[in-house]
Structure 1
Amino acid sequence: MESVILLLELVGTLAFSISGALTGLRKNMDIFGVCILGLTTAVGGGVIRDLILGSTPPATFQNPIYAAVAVAAALVLFLPQVRHLLMWDQALFDRSLFWMDTAGLGIFTVMGIRAAFGQLVQPGLFLLVFVGVVTGAGGGVLRDVLAGDTPYIFVKHVYASASLAGALVCALMWRTVGEIPAMLTGVGTVALIRCLSAHYHWNLPHAHD
């Protein structure tokens, strides 16, 4: 069980780190900026989650493996060969960013719910869903703010809404089907909604509509 959880956490960390590093590359940042964006995207949501739940110091500072994976992934992407490959093909760049964001969003959404169940005896549904969305989307918001962009969750595809749906599904299923099935279903829900929204160009109504 714990090995499965660790694997999911590492995959999510890797995915979000790549997402952050790609944004840094697009902004023509130096190696330090790319690493900071990768690290912040990977661990930012988890830090906010732990502070909300009163779990201090946050898990990121207790186990350096997550920060190490995030920085290592960002460094690999900064390699000239990798960087030029991604930046040369805009379609590849956009697809990479989309899939990394989607994977990280789904995994960290359900990890937030798991953390709430582990920290509290009887967490309410609102808290579970809120913590799940914050964990899933928080790192991306910090990434975009540091990069000087309008946060992705407010303008691109269906993002926070997908996290909200996945968190709700996971939280409702947790006590009936068990931890792992609920988490996998939650991740699948996020991925499905994100893919459908991209394919059919779903977006929430904008202020100018």
Structure 2
Amino acid sequence: MTRQRPRLFLRLFMTIYRADMLSAQQNFILRRNLQVSFEQEKESFGCKERKSFVNTEMLVFIIEIIGTVAFASSGAMVGIRKKMDVLGVIVMAVMTAVGGGIIRDLVLGIHPPNTFKNPIYVEYSVLTAVILFVVFYIKKQMLDSKALFYYEKIMILLDAIGLGAFTVIGVETAYESGYVHHRFLLLFVGVITGVGGGMIRDMMAQQIPFILVKQIYACASLAGAGVCIWLMPYHKSASMILGAVVVVIIRILAATYRWDLPKIE
């Protein structure tokens, strides 16, 4: 009897161990099934899509801020060079940054335009203009120095970034407004969002709009908008990034190598 006790304890231990293992396995399967069921329930309620939507919205906001600062800088510099006062510089910066967006919203029937519903873009434009005005007011010699040459190079890059950013934002806004199958409208709205602010800036400065006389500009916006429209049904975020990159590359190459459209001298 004493010899059988270890065997009995061993059998009892193995039985309990197997029962615990079976229970643990069943609990694991139950937790896994509950997790899968929860994930499916989340998808059915659109939680997955919402996460993607939030990411896209954040990307759009970042692109808009980059474009706003870039275009506001170019508008402010035109005002400074035209010897405008601080108010004139601010107006030039704001209209350059948000002018294209206002035209876009009017074309799409968005009333009031987003600029007036969310003034953060105007605030960034005003801040950019004030900073540039103060810098050049304190150091007026920068307007006639070699530093201005490098600043102009930087401005070409910023302007290209702004053009690319606002072009794809225009396409995305029209796309989200329900004009998915209206390709010409998507193209037009993308381009006018990109170049509209610059046209308003140049007309306010009493000069021929930059896009009509300088290196390839509107064509770069046109190409980027086309890429964005083509890829938009497959992946919105990727289409916007690639479209903006196309605009920036074409614009930088055009400015570097002096690419011009044919004209009569």
- Could you say whether these structures have the same fold, taking a TM-score greater than 0.5 normalized by the shorter chain as the test? yes
Matched, 1:198 2:263: no
In the alignment, the residues of structure 2 paired with residue 66 and residue 123 of structure 1 have an alpha-carbon distance, to the nearest angstrom, of 29
Cα gap change, 1:110 to 1:154, in 2 (>3 Å): same
1:4 matched to which residue of 2? Answer: 59
Distance, in Å, in 1 between the alignment partners of 2:141 and 2:227 is: 40
Question: Which whole-Å CA distance do the structure 2 matches of 1:4 and 1:197 have between them?
Answer: 27
Q: Number of aligned pairs?
A: 207
Determine which of 165, 177, 191 is the counterpart of 1:107: 165
In structure 1, distance between residues paired with 2:128 and 2:140: 12
Alpha-carbon shift at residue 200 of structure 1 (Å): 1.7
Q: Distance in 2 between matches of 1:109 and 1:76?
A: 26
C-alpha change, 1:116 and 1:84, in structure 2 (3 Å) is: farther
CA–CA distance in structure 2, aligned partners of residues 87 and 186 of structure 1: 36
After superposition, the Cα gap between the structure-2 partners of 1:82 and 1:109, relative to the gap in structure 1 and judged at 3 Å, is farther
* 1:142 alignment counterpart: 200
4+ long deviations beyond 4 Å: none
Distance 1:200 1:33, change over 3 A: same
Q: 1:148 to 1:125 in 2, by over 3 A?
A: same
Q: Contact 1:22–1:97 at 8 Å: present in 2 too?
A: no
Task: Determine if the alignment matches structure 1 residue 183 to structure 2 residue 230.
Answer: no
Question: Does structure 2 retain, via aligned residues, the 8 Å contact 1:18–1:74?
Answer: yes
Corresponding position: 1:164 with 2:222 = yes
Show CA shifts across 1:145-193 (max 9, x none).
Answer: 00111100011111000000000010011112x1110001011100111
With the length of structure 2 as denominator, give the TM-score of the two structures.
Answer: 0.75
User: Considering only aligned residues, what root-mean-square deviation do their CA atoms show, in Å?
Assistant: 1.4
**Quick check: 1:86–1:93 contact (8 Å CA) kept in 2?**
no
Q: Please say if residues 156 and 252 of structure 2, whose CA atoms lie closer than 8 Å, have aligned partners that are also in contact.
A: no
CA distance in 1, matches of 2:140, 2:240: 33
For 1:152 and 1:84, the matched residues in 2 are separated by 26
C-alpha distance in structure 2 between counterparts of 1:206 and 1:106, whole Å: 25
Candidates 109, 112, 116, aligned match of 2:174: 116
- 1:6-39 Cα shifts (integer Å, max 9, x gaps): 1111111111000100111111111011000000
SS in 1 for 2:71: helix
Match status 1:95 vs 2:153: yes
Counterparts of 2:168 and 2:159, CA distance in 1: 14
State how far apart, in whole Å, the 2-side matches of 1:19 and 1:10 are: 14
Of 74, 93, 98, 1:43 maps to 98
Note the residue ranges of structure 1 that are not aligned, 5 or more in a row: none
CA distance in 2, matches of 1:44, 1:82: 29
The whole-number CA distance in structure 1 between the counterparts of 2:105 and 2:255 is 31
How many percent of aligned residue pairs carry the same amino acid? 43
Q: Which amino acid aligns with 1:201?
A: R
Matches of 1:41 and 1:74, distance apart in 2: 11
Task: Give 1 or 2 for the bigger CA radius of gyration.
Answer: 2
Distance 1:165 1:63, change over 3 A: same
Aligned-residue offset at 1:130: 0.4
Where relative contact order (Cα < 8 A, 6+ residues apart) is larger, the structure is: 1
